[in-house]
Amino acid sequence: NFRPEYSQIGGLRDLFPQVPFIALTATADHTTRQDILDKLHLHQPQVHVSSFDRPTIRYHVQEKSNPYKQLSTFLEDHTDSCGIVYALSRKRVEEVAEKLKEDGFRAKAYHAGLPAQIRETVHQQFLRDEIDIVVATVAFGMGIDKSNVRFVVHYDLPKNIEGYYQETGRAGRDGL
C-alpha cells in the first residue's frame, strides 16, 4: 500500500543505477519488505532487520465500554502531555475532536477529507505544541517528526497489527 509517489522512486533507480539507495522502515513485515525491494528496484540489497521493541513504550489494553469516558479519563491523567488519538472513520474523528474541545482539551481533527490547508495547519500546530491532541485517521502520522508524543490512543482498533505498531511507534521517539 505504498503511496504512489513512493512507487515512482524505483524509476530513479533505473535512471541512476550507480547511485547508492537506501530504504528504511520501522515495522515492515517480510512481505512488505519484499514489496519495497521490488517497487524500488533494489537488486541484491543488504537487508538488516532489528527488533522494533522500544522498552520505553508501555501498552495498556482495555475492553471498550463507554469509549469517550474512557478516553477523557485517560487524558485527565495526561494533561501535560501531547498525543494522538486514532479513530477509523472521518466522522468519528470529527465527533471525538469536537467533544474534546468542548471539554477543554486543546484538540483538533485530522483526516484525508479535510482541505490540504487545514491538514497542514493542524500538523504545524501539533509540531509547535500549539495543540496537544490530534484526533486522526491513519492519514495522520506519515512524516510526523515529533519526538515528544507521549501517548497514542486507539479509539477504534486498527485494521491490522502492522498498522497498530506503525501508529504506536509514533510515541516516545525521544526515548522517554
Short-list 175, 167, 174, 166, CA closest to 135? 167
Q: What pLDDT score was predicted for residue 20?
A: 87
Q: What pLDDT score was predicted for residue 52?
A: 67
Which of 7-21, 43-57, 70-84, 140-154 is modeled with the greatest confidence?
A: 70-84
Tell whether pTM > 0.85.
no
Specify the higher pLDDT residue, 12 or 142. 12
Q: What pLDDT score was predicted for residue 3?
A: 65
Scanning the chain, the segments in alpha helix (DSSP H) are 4-15, 30-39, 67-76, 90-102, 116-127, 161-168
Q: Are 109 and 89 in contact (CB under 8 A)?
A: no
Please provide the distance, in angstroms rounded to a whole number, between the alpha carbons at the two ends of the chain: 31
